[in-house]
A = this chain, B = another copy of it.
Amino acid sequence: MDLDTVRTFVAAADAGRFQEAAAELAISQQAVSKRIAALERGLGVRLFTRTARGAELTIDGQAFLPHAHELLRVAERAAASVRTGHRPLRVDILASRGAASGLMRGFHRAHPEIDLDVVMLLDMDTAVAALRSGTLDASFRAVGAPGRPLPEDIAYVRVLDEPLELLTGPAHTLAGARSVPLARLAGHRIWMPGLTPGTEWTAYYDDLVAEFGLTIEATGPNFGSDALLDTVADTPALATFMGGHTRLVWPAGHGLRRIPVTDPTPVYPHALLWHRDNPHPALATLRAHLAATTAGHDAAGTWTPAWAAPR
């Protein structure tokens, strides 16, 4: 099935005659005939009944037609997603299940008419470079990590403080706790594969470790959060940190426990970054939406790294 062929099918169905469709597409009637025949051969059904004064859709053709339209629409959107100028708003988030993802879902619900593309970049350097080059419109990051000054033309605003929670399996010592003070985590094995050196979120956990005497193991390759959760659920002595806004889709009965951390509660300081001169109209809408929906939380009893950009 070829998109040009599908386009031809739609044109022929629209016109009701191959000749007219051929004229529209600026090809010969015979070419249309051959394309349709090829499509019918490929699908294994007859799409048109050829009559003396044209061609009309069979029932199979009628059923196929809306799908053909949809196919062309999706193809158009796919091409638009990488068109320079007037492309969908492109936003970078840390992980598909993190807090930024939830914010973008909320934005999409509030403004379904705005086309969005979400990408996931690893480190802030590429994100900043992409913002400056215009390849990216906005990025959710924690701003202010030491030794990483933001260029002048990158603007940002704190948008969300996300409290961290401890994730354990059912056999973990702390599994029954309703909450756990941060200091009590010292000595426990906390496993966070995928902590890439040099990234701002690794800097966050480095500071957390240094300040409260925790031990975090970043060993082993990151096989994805599913594998991580699987291991944590099955290993009594293992726990991990997880953003409190993460939505878990997890089979019931697995017994994973999410335990709030207190005294203080570590919160991750999400900020939105963008290029000062980015002219994308939807960017202003996104900023307004975030400003309106993410009310400032009380910072009392919480911890963020000293370098975190102020609210």
Interface string of A103-134 (1 = CB under 8 A from B): 00000000000000111110000100010000
User: Does chain B have a CB within 8 A of A60?
Assistant: yes
Interface string of A122-156 (1 = CB under 8 A from B): 00001000100001100000000000000000000
How many chain A residues touch B (CB < 8 A): the figure is 39
Q: Which of B63, B117, B118 contacts A81 (CB 8 A)?
A: B63
In Å, the complex CA distance between A244 and B81 comes to: 42
Closest to A70 in B: B74
In Å, the complex CA distance between A71 and B77 comes to: 9
Min Cβ gap A210→B in Å is 33
Q: Which of B43, B47, B90 contacts A59 (CB 8 A)?
A: B90
28 A-B pairs within 8 Å (CB atoms) are namely: A1-B3, A1-B79, A2-B3, A3-B3, A43-B82, A44-B82, A44-B83, A44-B84, A45-B84, A47-B82, A58-B135, A59-B136, A62-B120, A63-B81, A63-B82, A63-B88, A64-B78, A64-B81, A64-B82, A66-B117, A66-B118, A67-B74, A67-B81, A67-B117, A68-B78, A70-B78, A71-B74, A71-B75
Q: Which residues of B contact A67 (CB under 8 A)?
A: 74, 77-78, 81, 117
Contact A121 B79 (CB under 8 A): no
Which of A2, A45, A59, A136 has the most chain B CB atoms inside 10 A of its CB? A59
In Å, the complex CA distance between A3 and B74 comes to: 12
In Å, the complex CA distance between A88 and B118 comes to: 31
Q: Which residues of B contact A81 (CB under 8 A)?
A: 63-64, 67
Which of A6, A45, A47 has the most chain B CB atoms inside 10 A of its CB? A45
